[in-house]
Structure 1
């Protein structure tokens, strides 16, 4: 009697490659060429000319490749968010074990859902004045503290820190960690902006993340993020994605930079440029001081030439004093001589009218002894009266003996 142990079970063992080949054959045979509609995402043109992207809808996604020979017939430039209709074959990429669509033709089917939402919000916020220049805040020329709103694990953070260290190492940096992708990212970004404004440590903020597809960057297209940026009292520089990526946050931000690194450059002055400016000003200051010193040196030389030795000044004073003394002596001599001449003239005049002059010519003055009264008429005399007679030279006293009036 045979037992189960005696019956050898026949097994068909496939290699991974055989399995993938068989699966590929099944897919290509059963599906053939078909039309598929969806939204483009993660469009990446390859340097070889091939085009790699993902086709998705609200519930699923599939990888796609369009080879160089087919991309040449495209009538438009594929981009993220664009809704298209593909004519493709379902196949399996054996090496990776993932199935994909090999695209033969691509037609525009209208803008994708995300792109439509993006354009609608952009139009709404533009009409509300969120993008107006009058609402843009000026950046500080020399920031005292720089706030960075991004993920602490993001590569963009390292790029920003490297630029800040090179250009403006003196400014302290404050990191406001937030997720930058996913369902909660928009709310996290709003909380980070709000926290930065409430703390008031930073006087400029950099909102940044690296590149990605439209859905990867979608949190920066949310209305709540735009409102938080618009309401921020601190100026915000956006550095989101690559140069070709434009988000709603870029339009609302006070300054838009094409990359996170450029955002860091925009936020700071270049320390090397500052050093060059300081050196130029230092040179101009030194030159100005040298010119000023030279001016005062020349002025000092001029004053020194005008300045005399004290001995010379004393000698000049002595000579001047002697000159003035000589002039004074001449003046006094002339004045004395003039006064002597005037005195002589006045004396001669006085002599001509003086009684003494009259007496000198033989006349006499008779006065009463007791009253000193000048006797001018004999009627004023009495016999026996004592009178004094003054002559030109001397005087004498006499007694009246006889009075003889004029006949």
Structure 2
């Protein structure tokens, strides 16, 4: 049987102090990633490095704490010995000395425990109801027509916001909705301001902000009424509440959470210089593109000009001119030849026409016409005289039998003026008839009184 001495057993399990401290440090880091510890500050030390070292103690124990300078920017109060605080820290081990300590990330005055529990409960409730969902977040306008600001009109936050907005893009109108940011009535004023901004639709982005403070100071932004008003807003809302380390329920519901009111103004407003730089960049690009286009068109023009010179129409015009001269000469020659031919034909036709000249026949016919004209005149005169004599004889005969001649011998002629009928018998009359009697010279009208048939 082998005997194991104590010295041999210790030799097999021995580790160095460094290894022990490192293992302990890893164990603490794994099991205490982030803790909230309440206690009283003591032994506070702030060396030139800016870091802060102190002990956190209660009635029965204490622990060393270190808070680096970069973590102190969001402190809402000045840590002092004897103050009761709550720290958010990582548990750590300073390996060279084996000192157990807390690396503090955030520190706040104690007394907010109930508020913190209410905060966590509401946060969990709204998280489960989907008020924090990224899908519900609205995009911010690239170039807002107006910016709404919901904050206290007398606080530092409004001055910081207006300063930033003026610096970044002074021409964008700013509409201020003044509210209380602290106190019992603050939540109602904030919710009402959000509702009014949405109803009036004068702005297309809203900054909801206030300066830093304790959890109790910021509590209006942790109210469910305010959270639901932000969620219902159709206008994008940027929250800029407190300092970088301050978180409120409004931050989780808002479309964008900014670390400070000034940062919220940065997010809400475009940078005028950036816009001007972009305009300048776009102008340069446009000029370059236009220049490239002009260069391309110039190259095309040069190429076309070269082709045009290679196929210059002047050469074709010169050839056509020579061709036209040749054709003109041929045309003139053909015209002269045709004219000579036609002149010969005219001469031949003229000679043949003279052979059949009608002048002799015309003279003979003219003499015959004159002879016949004389005969016609004589015959016409003789015929007229005969007709005149016959007319005279007929007139004498007509006058002899004319009733006018009878009337001139003392007779009269009676007619019915109504019918124009000549009265030849008393049978055509009756007493009272009107008759007209014509004499050789004139006529008269009379009325029949008595009719004698004999």
- TM class by shorter chain equals 0.5 to 0.7
> C-alpha separation between the residues in 2 aligned to 1:315 and 1:75?
104
User: What does residue range 109-120 of structure 1 map to in structure 2 within 5 Å?
Assistant: 112-120=113-121
Per-residue Cα deviation, 1:102-129 (whole angstroms, up to 9, x for no partner): xxxxxxxxx7111111111101100110
The structure with the largest alpha-carbon Rg is 2
Relative to structure 1, the CA distance from residue 233 to residue 326 in structure 2 (aligned partners, 3 Å threshold; closer, same or farther) is same
User: What does residue range 30-49 of structure 1 map to in structure 2 within 5 Å?
Assistant: 49=52
Whether contact under 8 Å (1:159, 1:261) holds in the other structure is yes
> C-alpha separation between the residues in 1 aligned to 2:297 and 2:113?
79
- Provide the secondary structure at the position in 2 that maps to 1:239: strand
User: What does residue range 145-224 of structure 1 map to in structure 2 within 5 Å?
Assistant: 145-224=146-225
2:290 counterpart of 1:275:
no
Relative to structure 1, the CA distance from residue 302 to residue 75 in structure 2 (aligned partners, 3 Å threshold; closer, same or farther) is closer
1:264 corresponding residue in structure 2? 265
- Provide the secondary structure at the position in 2 that maps to 1:149: strand
> C-alpha separation between the residues in 2 aligned to 1:46 and 1:289?
67
Whether contact under 8 Å (1:182, 1:219) holds in the other structure is yes
Relative to structure 1, the CA distance from residue 65 to residue 284 in structure 2 (aligned partners, 3 Å threshold; closer, same or farther) is closer
2:81 corresponding residue in structure 1? 66
- Larger RCO (CA within 8 A; separation ≥ 6): 1
- Provide the secondary structure at the position in 2 that maps to 1:216: coil
Whether contact under 8 Å (1:81, 1:114) holds in the other structure is no
Deviation at 1:274, TM superposition (A): 1.2
TM-score w.r.t. length of structure 1 = 0.54
> C-alpha separation between the residues in 2 aligned to 1:165 and 1:186?
28
Instruction: Report how many residues are paired.
Output: 253
Deviation at 1:286, TM superposition (A): 1.0
* Structure 1 stretch displaced more, 280-289 or 252-261: 280-289
- Provide the secondary structure at the position in 1 that maps to 2:257: strand
Going by fraction, where is helix more abundant, 1 or 2?
2
Relative to structure 1, the CA distance from residue 281 to residue 135 in structure 2 (aligned partners, 3 Å threshold; closer, same or farther) is same
User: What does residue range 234-273 of structure 1 map to in structure 2 within 5 Å?
Assistant: 234-273=235-274
Whether contact under 8 Å (1:149, 1:189) holds in the other structure is yes
Relative to structure 1, the CA distance from residue 46 to residue 144 in structure 2 (aligned partners, 3 Å threshold; closer, same or farther) is farther
Unmatched runs of 5 consecutive residues or more in structure 2: 1-37, 55-77, 88-98, 331-454
2:293 counterpart of 1:316:
no
- Provide the secondary structure at the position in 1 that maps to 2:275: helix
Relative to structure 1, the CA distance from residue 312 to residue 177 in structure 2 (aligned partners, 3 Å threshold; closer, same or farther) is same
CA RMSD of aligned residues (A): 3.9
User: What does residue range 4-403 of structure 1 map to in structure 2 within 5 Å?
Assistant: 49=52, 65-66=80-81, 77=104, 79-80=107-108, 82=110, 112-305=113-306, 306=308, 312-319=315-322
Relative to structure 1, the CA distance from residue 219 to residue 298 in structure 2 (aligned partners, 3 Å threshold; closer, same or farther) is same
